[in-house]
Structure 1
Amino acid sequence: MDVLGAAVPVGVLCAATRQPHPLLAATLAGAAWLAVAAAKNRYVKGSVGDSGSVLPVFRDWLTTVGVFAVACLAARVEISAEVWVLALLPCLVVTVVRRKLMHRYLLAIRRQAQGLRRVLIVGESGAVDAVLAELAHRTDHEYIVVGSCLVGEGATDAALPLPARLAVDGAAPEGADDGQTVLRSAVELDADLVFVAPGRQMTAERIRRLAWALHDEGRDLAILPGLIDVSQHRVRLAKAAGLTVMHIDPAARRGFPVLLKHATDRLGALLLLVLLSPVFAVVAAAIRVSSAGPVFYCQIRVGRDQLPFRMWKFRTMVVTADRMRAALEAANEHDGAMFKIRRDPRVTRVGRLLRRFSLDELPQLYNVLVGHMSLVGPRPPLPEEVERYDGTEIRRLAVKPGLTGLWQVSGRSDLSWDETVALDLSYVDNWSYARDIDVLVRTLRAVVDGRGAY
């Protein structure tokens, strides 16, 4: 499908514009697109449809444009640059649509317990419990744990089959051949993948022999390094004295990507303020006519490095809303530090509509323009919320808060406090400019969907 999406438009457009050798050009385009995708491992088992992100496809497309130009030069096919760049655009659209559909299909069948990989976990009881807890947080991955081989005599909290145990030091008779023990357990449970959980008993030599036994029988082995929520772009592998060294790069805090983010924030906010000025006028008139009080609502929020700032919104509540909050504390439907009520009696009829489509947040474009906020970032908290933060939650304030973010595109107020913190920490620790663009694109769908907006 990807090859046809590249080859057919190039051939048709070249023929329509009387470019030389349209069939050869179509063949080169299809081959270039296929070669780039294959080189980036887009068709490797486990990666097909596993991400619906647009940015990897766009980067592949840019690479394909260059490869196709070189191929045409080598084959002495002279095609107008405007023609073949335009002709390659359909393959970008086709591949994005195909990846999106495949991603949604995989998520759907995984929620129905299909298309999953059966996993056997090997490790000490505490490490196995930690892995199971992390896997249980999400349902969009491909792994289903069918059993465990525990090291030692410990017990796990999960009611999983335990076909065998491994000796603590790996030297006892029953533990001398870990590979055969684990392999028999995998065969018994029909597990095609073995996870090795981190622990002091799982030495490098022990894992090495385990890998030999599994690989010789055609079963896969994966080692869990004990890291939580570290993006692939931050991980680098190196070799030193026979050791495999995993480097974890810090999230970008300076340099060209950060400058690009600042420029995008300011220019984007300015452009949106100009383009949306008619919307501002309509919303302001609706608020003024429907209820007494000012059009805008100003509230103190906490920004990067715990610095307070004045955040602006369209007013969606009655004027006395702040004084009514104390009486409504018992009705709070959100856990953790946030205060949310699905049917908040303080919200006006117009305010409910504005919240449904996130129009009340538009004045925060001013905060982005003056540098208090970013287009993308964690939700800006209230000072009283920050006072309740622990050492982990306070890290949310290591970057500027955002007009939108992972919280807004992942369910908003329907998320628990722990899920909200996890999303924000993921953004802080794994920030990239490409991820910001992805969130901005997803925001459009989240606004239309309106899930969790109240």
Structure 2
Amino acid sequence: MRRIVGADAVCALIAGALGYLVRFGPAGTDGQHVSLGVALALPLVWVAAMLVARSYEERFLWVGADEFRRVFFASALLLATVGTVSWAFKLDVARGFVVLALPLATLLTLGQRYAQRQWLHRRRRHGLFRQTTLLVGHRAGVESLHQQLEREAYHGYRVVGCALPGGRDVAAQFDGLPVLGDLDEVVDIVRGFEVDTVAVLPSPELDGPALRRLGWDLEDTRAELLLAPAVTEVAGPRVRIRPVAGLPLLHMERPELTGVRRLTKGAFDRTSAALGILFLAPVLLGIALAVKVTSHGPVFFRQERVGRDGRTFSMLKFRSMVVGADRMVDDLAEESDGNGVLFKKKDDPRVTRVGKVLRRYSLDELPQLINVVRGDMSLVGPRPPLQGEVERYGYDMHRRFLVKPGLTGLWQVSGRSDLSWDDSVRIDVRYVENWSLTFDFMILWKTAGAVLRGSGAY
């Protein structure tokens, strides 16, 4: 925490100094003492604005967009305050300095916070800076939440054990976790194992009064109490707590799949894809020439995929395999490195030399910009499936057909071919349930890093 506060102050000091130098020069000018005072005081005022915006509360740090939204709010609040105070007291604060210094402080603060977040996430993946966590509930819920926390270790929760109905009389260990006691022994477990976080899953034994008493008892410890809702894979913006008849009830909003935002997404997709084709035209021509010269066959590979509402379309790719590769799948099926539904092979003999490079950096997918312009696909969405895969889908997986498939998506930034089938289902459903333009921009931002790393691409 102290490191974030100090870094924010340094960012404000740098922004204030640069703003003053750009506006007034190294020697300054007469009559600018107020602006110089503002520049020197900016670090203190900046940190105070961050405090008012509650951007230092630990629950808003390290994960999610709330931390960055609060930085923006603090910046806007400070800008409005400076403008109002300077007008009210007729202070001679140069507008050029304010307009330069505050946005620069915002950008520097966002950049350093993002860098610190990435540093912490890397350390957490290696087991450092994590909170000890106790899972409380029934077996199915405990197992599911344990797997989720292990998949996303960067959130910083290290599960040390669980409390189940029946406790140690049922089993000494469950899902690789020690069973530390019964649901009635949670507080004793917290004290005995110095637990930082207690995550309680829905269970009939822990009804309203029991949960209230548990919260009271945990107030005498350092442990935080987290309640896991019965509805999973729904992002925070879709869930609101609404007081109904004196009760704090969770209100789950409908996913934004229709209306103005969908039209906005379509317009953004087509415009961006068209501009992308124009900007990348030399690259596309170069890749097309390399494919044509190095192997026999057409430049493009067309394949029927299933899109929104179950309609099929012809998806374009640069050909990265030998001609007739799709007819060789049955012969290689027993050697698949995929997840049981999707056929994947790391050292696929069908891939050409140029194709290995194209697939490594997802360059073979670039012609799908044409599919986006046509309206068959989006820039961001679920992975476009084959008809044979769709025939093996369960009920949950059909949710993905409510939106267009994407050139990139959560699957692209979460491991691609390294994902298990259950993870693929979970990720696609999560995208559909939580779609928003902000979510799309976040995925597009992360896609660049995923493509450069090449993880899961084969």
Given the two structures, how large is their TM-score scaled by the length of structure 2?
A: 0.88
Alignment of 1:14-33 (within 5 A): 14-18=20-24, 20=32, 21-26=34-39, 29-30=42-43, 33=46
Name 1:318's counterpart in structure 2. 322
Provide closer, same or farther for how the CA distance between residues 306 and 63 of structure 1 changes in structure 2, counting only shifts above 3 A.
farther
Name 1:365's counterpart in structure 2. 369
Alignment of 1:19-418 (within 5 A): 20=32, 21-26=34-39, 29-30=42-43, 33-51=46-64, 57=68, 60-61=71-72, 64-65=75-76, 67-76=78-87, 77=91, 83-152=97-166, 154-155=170-171, 157-158=174-175, 160-166=177-183, 178=184, 181-418=185-422
Quote how far apart the aligned CAs of 1:108 are.
2.9
Deviations 1:94-127 (A, max 9, x none): 2233223322332233233321222233334454
Distance 2:141 2:328 in 1: 47
Distance 2:194 2:127 in 1: 15
The count of residues paired between Structure 1 and Structure 2 equals 439
- Which amino acid letter does the alignment assign opposite residue 43 of structure 1? Y
Matched-pair contact (CA < 8 Å) for 2:339–2:419: no
Matched-pair contact (CA < 8 Å) for 2:71–2:110: no
Which of 12, 21, 31 is the equivalent residue of 2:18? 12
Matched-pair contact (CA < 8 Å) for 1:29–1:68: no
Deviations 1:204-261 (A, max 9, x none): 1111112111113443222222232221111101112221101111221123432321
- Which amino acid letter does the alignment assign opposite residue 252 of structure 1? E
Distance 2:147 2:59 in 1: 22
Distance 2:9 2:285 in 1: 48
Deviations 1:305-329 (A, max 9, x none): 1110111111111122222222222
Quote how far apart the aligned CAs of 1:444 are.
1.4
CA RMSD of aligned residues (A): 2.5
Matched-pair contact (CA < 8 Å) for 1:287–1:315: yes
Calculate percent identity across the aligned residue pairs: 39
Given the two structures, how large is their TM-score scaled by the length of structure 1?
A: 0.88
Provide closer, same or farther for how the CA distance between residues 218 and 15 of structure 1 changes in structure 2, counting only shifts above 3 A.
same
Quote how far apart the aligned CAs of 1:393 are.
1.8
Matched-pair contact (CA < 8 Å) for 1:127–1:199: no
Distance 1:347 1:163 in 2: 51
Deviations 1:344-387 (A, max 9, x none): 11111111111122111111111101110000011101111111
Quote how far apart the aligned CAs of 1:290 are.
1.0
Provide closer, same or farther for how the CA distance between residues 31 and 303 of structure 1 changes in structure 2, counting only shifts above 3 A.
farther
Which of 444, 449, 453 is the equivalent residue of 1:440? 444
Matched-pair contact (CA < 8 Å) for 1:183–1:213: yes
Does 316-325 or 136-145 show the bigger shift? Answer: 136-145
Quote how far apart the aligned CAs of 1:200 are.
0.9
Distance 2:323 2:195 in 1: 61
Matched-pair contact (CA < 8 Å) for 2:55–2:71: no
SS class of match (2:123): helix
Provide closer, same or farther for how the CA distance between residues 274 and 448 of structure 1 changes in structure 2, counting only shifts above 3 A.
same
Quote how far apart the aligned CAs of 1:408 are.
1.1
Distance 1:252 1:278 in 2: 37
- Which amino acid letter does the alignment assign opposite residue 141 of structure 1? H
Distance 2:360 2:144 in 1: 38
Matched-pair contact (CA < 8 Å) for 1:28–1:71: no
Name 1:450's counterpart in structure 2. 454
Unpaired segments ≥5 residues, structure 1: 167-177
Deviations 1:119-154 (A, max 9, x none): 233334454344334333432222222233333464
SS class of match (1:238): strand
Matched-pair contact (CA < 8 Å) for 1:374–1:400: yes
Does 357-366 or 217-226 show the bigger shift? Answer: 217-226
Does 233-242 or 122-131 show the bigger shift? Answer: 122-131
Does 260-269 or 70-79 show the bigger shift? Answer: 70-79
SS class of match (2:339): coil
- Which amino acid letter does the alignment assign opposite residue 408 of structure 1? Q
Matched-pair contact (CA < 8 Å) for 1:237–1:246: yes
Structure 1: 4+ residue segments shifted above 6 A: none
Quote how far apart the aligned CAs of 1:33 are.
4.3
